[in-house]
Amino acid sequence: MFSIAYRFAIASVILFTFLLITRKRVKYSFADHRWFMLQGVLLFGLCYWFTYLAELQLTSGLVAVLSSLIIFFNVIFGRILLKHKIEPKLLIGFAFGLVGMMMLYKDELGLIEDGMSAIKWLGVAVMANVVASLGNIVSLRNQGEGFGILQLNAFGMAYGSILVFLIGLFKGDPITFENTSSYILSLIYLSVFGSILAFYGYLTLLGRMGPGKAAYVSLIIPIIALIVSSVFESFQWSLIAVTGLVLVLIGNWLALSKKKIPVGKS
């Protein structure tokens, strides 16, 4: 928990330093900060807490499959909270992508043990995506109000790190920091590439493409992970895995193409 707090705290400090050097706006009203805090608590706090809790009990492959649900939640919450139209082709693409993901990670899905414990942790993993989706919607609302992504992330990551730090204290976790080069370099990597650059890119897509299409990145990231694993580790591409990859790519094409898919009679 404290490593998550360190990660976002470092990212926030870097962002604020950049904003001050470039003389960007950093002063906002109390009302604005409530929205910054809400985005940070959802997107950089609770989302990560729930995800890591789930990954302590479930395989990373299963969590990756469940993470694709954020596309569905983004579409639904976008409709309910922001009045965005639901594009049928996006839901069809999501269906292809979800089936493809299940095929890619079929071996890990088979490791699920029966019982209420498994159901509980599956629920925690799903809740992580519900929270992340709501964070997406709040970010989209904030961008619509004219707030810059750098400012939103600087304040949001600060609030998120504070929340996670307090959760760690409340849980009674020991405050630790590994004074090793591997740990420090990992923190720097996650702070710069995994937080500052990744969320700037993702939230920019969110503002330009909408919550449904932007969230489709959740299906692409696990594929990249498998490709890296096949090069550096021992992942073997079976026929069913390749088929799953093809389905994900078809779903991606359906979701992001500009062509409209006719549904019913006009």
**pLDDT score, position 114:** 56
For residue 226, name the pLDDT band (cuts at 50, 70, 90): confident
For residue 259, name the pLDDT band (cuts at 50, 70, 90): low
For residue 56, name the pLDDT band (cuts at 50, 70, 90): confident
DSSP characters for the chain? -HHHHHHHHHHHHHHHHHHHHTT------HHHHHHHHHHHHIIIIIHHHHHHHHHTTS-HHHHHHHHTHHHHHHHHHHHHHH-PPPPHHHHHHHHHHHHHHHHHTHHHHTTPPPSHHHHHHHHHHHHHHHHHHHHHHHHHHHHHTT--HHHHHHHHHHHHHHHHHHHHHHHT-------SHHHHHHHHHHHIIIIIIHHHHHHHHHHHH-HHHHTTHHHHHHHHHHHHHHHHS-----HHHHHHHHHHHHHHHHHH-SSPPP-S--
For residue 37, name the pLDDT band (cuts at 50, 70, 90): very high
Of the candidate ranges 18-22, 208-212, 228-232, the one whose mean pLDDT is the lowest: 228-232
Q: What's the whole-number average pLDDT of the chain?
A: 87
pTM given for the model: 0.84
What's the mean pLDDT in 202-206? Answer: 93
Task: Say which residue, 87 or 144, is predicted with more confidence.
Answer: 144
